[in-house]
Amino acid sequence: MSPLQDAARQLRTSIRAATAGLVGRDQLAELIVLAAVAQEHLLVVGPPGTGKSAVVRRVAQALGGRYFEYLLGRFTEPSELFGPVDLRKLREGSVETDVTGMLPQAEVAFLDEVFLGSTAILNTLLGVLNERRFRRGHTQLDCPLRVCVGAANALPEDEALAAFGDRFLLHTFVEPVADHQLEALLAGGWAAEQAPLPAGGALQQLDLLSQQLKHVQLDAARPALAQAIRLLRQAGIALSDRRIVKAQRLVAAAAVLAGRLQAGQADLWPLLYVLPTQQAQHSAREVLRELLAAASHPHLFAAVEEASQQPLSRAARLAEAARGWLAAEAGAAPAEALLREIDANFTAATLPPELAALRAQLGERLALAG
Amino acid sequence: MNPPPLLAAAAAGGWRWRAREAQQRPRAAVAWGREVSRQLLQRLGRLPATQQASLSATAGGELLVVTGEAAELPWVEGVAYAAPCAEAPQLWLPLLSEPELPADLIARALQQRFGRAPLLLWPAPLAVVPLDRQLPVGPALLARVAQQWRQPR
């Protein structure tokens, strides 16, 4: 296994530890890691109480980076995010900010209700997000920020705020957990509260992958990416040139997270998250159906599945779940649920060989248990 | 009863089925054939009473259809899954195949022919199964189905 593949695998283990018990939130954890490797930021739109902050906190814990979290309000002062003015330096005539333990020192940040920030806050944030540079008064610092996750109940209608929202390259929309998952939510939520937070240490792997981004060969992916943009335009779904160009970072990040330095059509799926609105993402799934049919990823199952919503993308998740059950054999019900989901998604003719083998093993073990 | 013209036309190759990707969650487990339907019946018998109570079933000679929420549906080797059609909720179809004809037209044609709803339309064997007289799954129903299957025909 190459160092790149090893780092990608370890990062996957960290994501899994971070989302243990958080029902239906794997996708969010995977997108945080994708954004961090691409050195971009993620905007999460959805109602409160959907576990957004819990996921970011646990991913940050798994990465082991310095974490900063804040719930913004209309009256939030810049000092609450960036730190207070250093009084000692002020006496000497210089306006400097004491950033100890504040956003400029964070490696992972979560800003809830991010659009409620004042103009002063958003302007300073722009520098931190875009250039990873904090400027305030006489203070000018490089920021170690890997990823900022912004959250909001809805996308802003105000143009200036929309422009700020555009700085988050990835947009994702979370819903409350579906009815059929309520039992799992209750059981998982209870277990997650008791379980210790995952041990950190994955930041090193993340940085290693991030550094490889510039070496990724995009030649094989570019024609398909251009074709995808053409199809989106034909369907009336516009993307700014900036977002189109930056989408390549996500495609490259998907490749390195799969342990590869060559990106191909299978890595196009992050493009869906570059579309800024839920409606555009919904329409794009249909428009890009053929192009995304090849979408797959050995580690980011949930994010790929949500993007393409096609059987091949489900196969990887089902295979991992099957391997997990076969290793642990934790009760018959999950195995039966897995077999049901496999058979509800694949016929004998369409079942990928690896999943077919796992299905057979599950069936045998279940028969023995029954 | 003669086969409805729709099924006769399908049998004569007048229209075909095509594969489709699962767009919905399963709402019915469908077991065709002697072996699979018997296995499904046995599986139902081993389910906890609470899970049994959340399911309903209808049985034929070599057929057992169990309906319920996806998370409660049982699995046995050879079982297939079905769900109501999004365009015509009174028509239930396999998750992984669909007729080439518009579903709403099929639903209307079958409704006129059978006067019952909902109806499950199945490709192999080609059949229409009324789902309006499903009974709650429980020991009494399972025993009755088992007894019916034991009787010589």
Contacts of A344 in chain B (CB under 8 A): 22, 25-26, 70, 81, 95-96
Q: Closest residue of B to A347, CA-based?
A: B96
Q: Compute the distance between CA of residue A104 and CA of residue A221 in angstroms, rounded to an integer.
A: 35
- Which residue, among B9, B5, B10, B2, has the nearest Cα to B122 in the 3D structure? B10
Question: Which residues of chain A lie closer than 8 angstroms to B71, CB-CB?
Answer: 180, 183, 337
Alpha-carbon gap: B93 to the closest alpha carbon of chain A (Å): 12
Mean pLDDT of all residues in B122-144: 92
Tens of pLDDT, residues B29-86: 999 999 999 999 999 999 999 999 999 999 988 899 999 999 899 999 999 999 999 8
A311 contacts in chain B (CB < 8 Å):
21-22
| pLDDT above 70 as % of chain B | 89
Tell me the C-alpha distance between A7 and A9, whole Å.
5
- The ipTM, to two decimals, is 0.89
Which residue, chain included where needed, has tokens 């034991």? B150
Closest CA to A319 of A349, A366, A353: A353
Say yes or no to pLDDT of A239 above 60.
yes
pLDDT band for position A21 (cuts 50, 70, 90): low
Intra-chain end-to-end CA distance of chain B, in Å: 19
Angle at which helices A222-234 and A241-257 cross, to 10°: 140
Tokens representing B80 are 């297939």
B129, amino acid identity: V
The verdict on a CB contact (< 8 Å) between B70 and A183 is no
Q: Using the beta-carbon criterion (under 8 Å), do B80 and A343 form an inter-chain contact?
A: yes
Give me the helices (H) in A131-221, please: 159-165, 182-194, 203-212
Which residues touch A195 (CB under 8 Å, ≥6 apart)? Answer: A20, A21
A363 CB neighbours in chain B (<8 A) are 77
Residues of A in contact with B74 (CB under 8 A): 336, 340
- Any idea what the Cα angle at residue A296 is, between residues A301 and A51, rounded to 5°? 25
Q: At what angle do helices A311-328 and A301-308 cross, to 10 degrees?
A: 150
Buried b (16+ CB within 10 A) or exposed e, A55-77: bbbbbbbbbbbbbbbbebeeebe
Question: Are the C-beta atoms of residues A174 and A44 closer than 8 Å to each other?
Answer: yes
Report chain A residues whose CB lies below 8 A from the CB of B70: 180, 340, 344
- Using DSSP's 3-state secondary structure scheme, residue A97 falls into strand
Of B124, B95, B92, the C-alpha closest to B106 is B92
Instruction: Report the residue from A180, A311, A363 with minimal CB separation from B71.
Output: A180
Exposure string over A264-274, b if 16+ CB within 10 A, otherwise e: bbbbbbbbbbb
Contact B153, B61 (CB under 8 A): yes
Q: What is the Cα–Cα distance from A33 to A11, expressed in whole angstroms?
A: 8
- Mind listing the pLDDT tens digit for each residue in A8-20? 888 888 887 777 7
Distance from CA of B102 to the nearest CA of A (A): 19
Q: What is the CA radius of gyration of chain B?
A: 15
Task: Decide if pLDDT at A38 tops 90.
Answer: yes
Q: Which residues make beta-bridge pairs with B97?
A: B19
Min CA distance, A118 vs chain B (Å)?
43
The amino acid at A146:
R
Instruction: Yes or no: say if A15 and A320 are a contact pair by the CB < 8 Å rule.
Output: no
Q: Which of B75, B76, B79, B97 best tests the A interface by mutation, with the highest count of A CBs <10 A?
A: B75
Closest CA to A225 of A277, A269, A171: A269
Mean pLDDT of A40-47: 94
